[in-house]
């Protein structure tokens, strides 16, 4: 059995999937990672241009630095409620939930809770589905590429473990429900953004994020 220090060294040296991209290719890359590979993107961008991009998309953003401040000044439950509200809004609208870390390295395990921010959110996989292509269907982030009317095809589809799950009733409050039902709409996805480099992500966030289920993207100009 290895001493604790050597186990720590092994964890630091562990390598995770990563890729360098430029900002212009971000949309297509995210589509590929989420819908073809079933991975959660963790975006490394010290310029924060990626954060600016998502501020103008159909997204709900959890500012972890603000959450950390709220935890310190108002208590953990108040901080968790801020996260829950953003999560519920993204689920109900089928939006992208952006977990914005900036330069912080929070212990995300401390914020995971079935009633506020469940760990099951990071369960994503892909499955093949047969669908009939429609004419002039839009493409882009979360969109679909058309092959013309009347054609059946197989495509891969990212599935986040959210729809039809009992835990949604734990997460949703009565005022969040629609006709008494906790509703999650198609299109929901999670991404993480950070100012850290890929090496720092691997060493500083490996205990907080399930990096084996993620793809690290380094945005370069």
Whole-angstrom Cα distance, residue 83 to residue 111? 9
Give pLDDT, residue 5: 43
Mean pLDDT across 134-150 = 41
Please answer whether residues 22 and 219 qualify as being in contact, where contact means their C-beta atoms are separated by less than 8 angstroms: yes
Q: How confident is the model at residue 12 (pLDDT cuts 50, 70, 90)?
A: very low
| DSSP per-residue string spanning 150-211 | T-EEEEEEEEETTTT-THHHHH--GGGSBTTB----TT-EEEEEESS-HHHHHHHSTTTS-G
Q: Which residues sit opposite 156 in a β-bridge? A: 128
Residue 60 has pLDDT above 90, yes or no: yes
Whole-angstrom Cα distance, residue 97 to residue 3? 39
More confident residue, 216 or 138: 216
Q: Which tokens sit at 149?
A: 């009317």
Whole-angstrom Cα distance, residue 67 to residue 64? 5
Q: Which residues sit opposite 22 in a β-bridge? A: 220
Q: How confident is the model at residue 131 (pLDDT cuts 50, 70, 90)?
A: low
Please answer whether residues 205 and 193 qualify as being in contact, where contact means their C-beta atoms are separated by less than 8 angstroms: no
Q: Which tokens sit at 50?
A: 């990626």
Whole-angstrom Cα distance, residue 107 to residue 210? 12
Q: How confident is the model at residue 135 (pLDDT cuts 50, 70, 90)?
A: very low
Please answer whether residues 167 and 120 qualify as being in contact, where contact means their C-beta atoms are separated by less than 8 angstroms: yes
Q: How confident is the model at residue 158 (pLDDT cuts 50, 70, 90)?
A: low
Q: How confident is the model at residue 81 (pLDDT cuts 50, 70, 90)?
A: very high
Q: Which tokens sit at 51?
A: 């954060």
């Amino acid at each position: 059995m290895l001493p604790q220090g050597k186990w720590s060294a092994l964890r630091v040296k562990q390598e995770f999937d990563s890729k360098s991209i430029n900002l212009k290719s971000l949309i297509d890359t995210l589509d590929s990672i989420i819908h073809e590979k079933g991975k959660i993107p963790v975006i490394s961008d010290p310029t924060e241009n990626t954060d600016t991009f998502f501020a103008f998309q159909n997204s709900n953003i959890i500012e972890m630095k603000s959450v950390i401040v709220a935890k310190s000044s108002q208590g953990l439950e108040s901080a968790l409620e801020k996260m829950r509200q953003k999560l519920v809004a993204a689920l109900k609208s089928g939006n992208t939930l952006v977990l914005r870390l900036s330069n912080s390295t929070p212990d995300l395990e401390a914020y995971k809770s079935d009633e506020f921010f469940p760990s099951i959110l990071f369960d994503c996989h892909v499955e093949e589905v047969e669908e009939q292509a429609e004419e002039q269907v839009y493409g882009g982030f979360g969109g679909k590429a058309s092959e013309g009317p009347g054609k059946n095809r197989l495509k891969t589809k990212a599935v986040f473990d959210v729809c039809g799950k009992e835990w949604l009733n734990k997460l949703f409050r009565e005022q969040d429900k629609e006709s008494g039902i906790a509703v999650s709409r198609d299109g929901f996805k999670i991404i993480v953004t950070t100012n850290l480099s890929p090496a720092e992500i691997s060493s500083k966030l490996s205990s907080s994020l399930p990096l084996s289920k993620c793809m690290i993207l380094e945005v370069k100009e």
